Homo-oligomer: A and B are copies of this chain.
Amino acid sequence: MQDRIVVDWGSSNFRAYRFGPDGTVIDRHQAAAGILSVIDGRFEDTLRREIGPWMAKEGRDICLSGMITSRNGWVETPYLACPATVAGIAQHALVRELADGTRLHFMPGVSALAPSPDVMRGEEMQVFGTVGAADDATIVLPGTHSKWVRVAGGAINGLRTFLTGEVFALLSQHSIVGRLMPKDPAPFDEGAFLAGVDLAFSPASISLLNDIFTARSGALLGAFPVESIASRLSGMLIGHELAAGLALETGTAARLVLIGEPVLVQRYALALAHRGRAAEIGPAEAAVEGFRKLASTGALA
């Protein structure tokens, strides 16, 4: 097997990896060159600017994953419906050949149709980098759009996205709840955060739409200081996500693995531990490991 190049090209970031024949990373490059920064669809120019030297040397085949394969990217690929494996993803790639003969393999995203429609583009590689070929687990990727990904026998067979991080940002920046928060962000208040988590799990919580208002009304009535509103709101939202996600689990012995941005992963782990639920922390470089598996797939030869 020759060297392989994989590009993880998201909305904000461009990350490229060169894997040697034995699967080790022999070179890597990162730039703030996400698809939102690319003007007039000049993706090839951007690609050559970032990893031109690699391409000249040996880049006859390049895998691309992430938002570069979306409607707003270079080549839109269809979603691969669950169950999805690394091999299945590689097989359903769309190939485009550049003038110099370089073949670009655009990976599909993954979709779930039942019990409710859901999609992802890029996160699946982090999941494959976390689980083994025969693993059963639920992988949680906290973030702007948190993903709960169900894996059975090493294949992705279910997916739920929660708008947790985006709703937190919108409420903090634009809503009547955020208007009461101090202009200088207050430090993280663990007690307020966990009180918010507990509220989401309690019978007093009848709806998230009501809970978030209490982050304001409670402060107006002196139940807690305005400095704790942000942490309380964060706890409520994450608590609602966790309560819903955990309720989906069928077996009590199911593995729960958190991967992603360390600060967020720690916050989710804190909330889960507080609710008495054990969770593993996945590898920091889950995406790289997933790309290593993708790069070593025969389908891309």
Contact = CB atoms under 8 A, between A and B. Distances in A.
B117 A207 contact: no
A248 interface: yes
B221 A161 contact: no
Q: Which 8 A-B pairs have the closest CB atoms?
A: A207-B244, A162-B209, A206-B244, A117-B218, A161-B213, A170-B170, A117-B217, A119-B217
Interface in A235-267: 237, 240-241, 243-245, 247-248
Contact of A210 (B176, B211, B214, B244): B244
A204 interface: yes
Interface residues of A, number: 46
A161 B210 contact: yes
Contacts of A247: 206
A44 B170 CA distance: 36
Interface stretch (A2-10, A19-27, A57-65, A108-116): A108-116
Q: How many copies does the complex hold?
A: 2
A118 B247 CA distance: 28
A58 to B, nearest CB: 36
Interface of A: 79, 111, 113, 115-119, 145-146, 160-164, 166-167, 170-171, 174-177, 204, 206-214, 217-218, 220-221, 223, 237, 240-241, 243-245, 247-248
A26 to B, nearest CB: 36
Contacts of A163: 175-177, 209-210, 212-213
Contacts of A176: 145, 163, 166
A208 B209 contact: yes
Contacts of A237: 209
A237 B207 CA distance: 10
Nearest to A203: B115
